[in-house]
Structure 1
Amino acid sequence: MTVSAARPVILDGDPGHDDAVNILLAHASPELEVLGVTTTFGNVGLERTTRNALTTLELVGAGTPVYAGADRPLLVPRLSAESVHGQSGLDGPLLPSPTRQAEDLHAALFMIAAVRARPGEVTLLPTGPLTNVALAFRLAPDIVPLVREVVWMGGSVDVGNWTPAAEFNALCDPHAAQIVFSSGVPVTMFGLNATHQAVATPERIAPIRALSRREGASAVGEVVAGLLEFFAEHHRDRYGWNGGPLHDPLTSAYLIAPHLFGTQAMWVDVDTSGGPSTGRTNCDVWNLSGHAPNANVAMTVDADGFYALLTERLGRL
């Protein structure tokens, strides 16, 4: 099998400020070949997350196809996070209106077709609830051994951010997350324990804003700075931090510059009990369960290196 120099990826998310930055980073990076952007419910409802994906691509003139997917979890009631991302899901700076619509094909069906077309090559980068990925695996079990890797932003080795036990993306659809972790597909997990190391402080935002002040530069730097500043407001209020963590772009950055991250192989099980720990990603850090690892879990992040990479890549757009 010949693997392309650029890794084929599908960006699956619920944009969302940090999802939007992930879309931009992936499109600015020649190491990645973005086959499509798929959307799900999550930070806001599906109609708005799909519009936000189209809006983000419009900002940089990218014609990448967008496929809308799940509008609800497999079994549990739907959650949303307008309190973090605003009513639109991308509150903050002025953004362009999309000039095109999503494709007719459902996101899960697009994933199935893309993986079958390039067996062993395609990496899925979900940065929201794992519903679309779980649907694809259930509808077409034959693709499971054909997926190169799933790199997911979600879960946590330690505490949650939506309940004391659970991170938002995992809590949105714990049954879907359990399907993916038990599938046998290689999974890399970027949980809160890692993403909270990458806070977008004013000192890290300033060089991003400065990108738009160069002669002939695009508005991307100014827009991203505005997104990050709005995103910071919630985190200052809740945690007292001097900025918001850029969760989702760590997934693309991991594929572009893996040396910036430290991971540990471990067994991960998702709580689907319906009790107070529902949605918790139980991570066997010390191999106490005796189960073989089913995931690589991000543990360390070179935050300065990540922001240097992000700033440099945004400057290409």
Structure 2
Amino acid sequence: MTNGQPIPVIIDCDTGVDDALALLFAVRHPGIDLRAVTCVAGNTDVDGVVRNTLTVLERAGAPDVPVARGAERPLIEAPRSARHVHGHDGMGDLGLPAPGRAPVDVDAVTLLRREILASPRPVTLVPTAPLTNIALLLRTHPEVTRNIERIVFMGGAAGAGNATPVAEFNVWHDPEAAAILLTAGVPITMYGLDVFTRVVVPGADVRRLRASTEPGTRLAGELLAHRPATPGSRPDDPAEDAGGLGDAGALCAVADPDGLTTHRLPVEVSLAPGPTRGQTVVDRRPRAGESEIHEGTREQPLVDVGLAVDVERYVKLYLTTVERSGR
């Protein structure tokens, strides 16, 4: 909370197993006022993302949060899903029923503009997906930045990538959109792979969630069970039943920023074709190097890059929140 009031939050997502974990947390945390959710192609196609988002909000016991359909492909690249990670339906193929809710009758960019400008207090925007919708918003309606407190995005990496050796999936999926985000002119926090992979819920807690009779809590357990903590392990392996929070960690960082250690560093996105495309180049040098000395200094956006996380603190925060019975 800020000054005793919940933080106005808008999530832009590609739901997705871990986006679903993030939605469950956002709905149930008393310090977050979830004002809208916008959907973009990424983990699965955009229509599947809309369906999954509405289903999760229903299971979470969310109020009537507006949900809008957004971009169905990146700005330049062809769409490239992550169904091999998230299942054919993007939700771990859990066989969830179709939602009874429906999206609003405006597109994602229109909804983002409307909700950001209508908020009585500046909004924290949390993209947990490829950044296509956000880039379109910033280019079409740059006036929204006057009512954005901060953008906390799940994406990028200061170290190794996952889509390529150096690029994280969300940025790799639409590098041009990520580059536009960095020019937003508002404070930005990068919750990247350096902290993303560390926050793991122990198996005993996952099993407790799965045994719950409360729909949202049980769904959190089922989703965590689909996200084995060790890459390459099978979700049904009883020896590997711990689950990574993934995108939900970015929402934990909004609710409890003191659990995330950040450093304000220059960041740029590699847009050139080839093996580095989509890399977030994070400059952690203490001083300028030969390149700047000989070629001049280039202005790069400064980003609060997450480099360390209090794992136990965020796991406890997540479990305490999702085991609430809903509002």
Instruction: Please give the TM-score of this superposition, normalised by the length of structure 2.
Output: 0.88
Aligned to 1:122: 123
Aligned length: 310
Q: Deviation per CA, 1:5-50, whole angstroms, max 9, x where unpaired?
A: 1111111100001100100100101111111111000000001011
Q: Which amino acid aligns with 2:127?
A: P
Distance 1:270 1:38 in 2: 24
Distance 1:244 1:131 in 2: 28
Distance 1:268 1:3 in 2: 31
| Cα deviation, residue 65, structure 1 | 1.3
Q: Which amino acid aligns with 2:33?
A: E
1:123 is paired with a residue of what secondary structure? strand
Alignment of 1:52-201 (within 5 A): 52-62=52-62, 63-118=64-119, 121-201=122-202
Aligned to 2:277: 278
Distance 1:41 1:234 in 2: 26
Distance 1:88 1:160 in 2: 24
| Cα deviation, residue 315, structure 1 | 1.2
| Cα deviation, residue 245, structure 1 | 2.7
Q: Is the 8 A contact 1:266 1:294 kept in 2?
A: yes
Q: Which amino acid aligns with 1:301?
A: V
| Cα deviation, residue 232, structure 1 | 1.7
Q: Which amino acid aligns with 1:61?
A: G
| Cα deviation, residue 119, structure 1 | 7.1
1:37 is paired with a residue of what secondary structure? strand
Distance 1:310 1:201 in 2: 12
Instruction: Please give the TM-score of this superposition, normalised by the length of structure 1.
Output: 0.91
Q: Is the 8 A contact 2:19 2:247 kept in 1?
A: yes
Matched, 1:310 2:303: no
2:222 is paired with a residue of what secondary structure? helix
Distance 1:146 1:270 in 2: 25
Q: Is the 8 A contact 2:203 2:243 kept in 1?
A: no
Aligned to 1:246: 245
| Cα deviation, residue 226, structure 1 | 1.4
Change over 3 Å in CA distance of 1:205–1:305 after alignment to 2 = same
Q: Is the 8 A contact 2:59 2:219 kept in 1?
A: no
Q: Deviation per CA, 1:144-164, whole angstroms, max 9, x where unpaired?
A: 343211100011011110111
Alignment of 1:212-223 (within 5 A): 212=212, 217-223=213-219
Matched, 1:264 2:263: yes
Q: Which amino acid aligns with 1:220?
A: G
Percent identical among aligned pairs is 35
1:171 is paired with a residue of what secondary structure? helix
| Cα deviation, residue 59, structure 1 | 0.8
Q: Which amino acid aligns with 1:270?
A: V
| Cα deviation, residue 292, structure 1 | 6.1
| Cα deviation, residue 261, structure 1 | 1.2
Bigger shift: residues 91-100 or 147-156: 91-100
Distance 1:285 1:225 in 2: 37
Distance 1:46 1:287 in 2: 42
Q: Is the 8 A contact 1:7 1:32 kept in 2?
A: yes
Gaps of 5+ in 2: 289-296
Q: Is the 8 A contact 1:115 1:146 kept in 2?
A: yes
Q: Deviation per CA, 1:77-118, whole angstroms, max 9, x where unpaired?
A: 211100000000002534232002111111111111222223
Q: Which amino acid aligns with 2:314?
A: F
Distance 1:110 1:168 in 2: 25
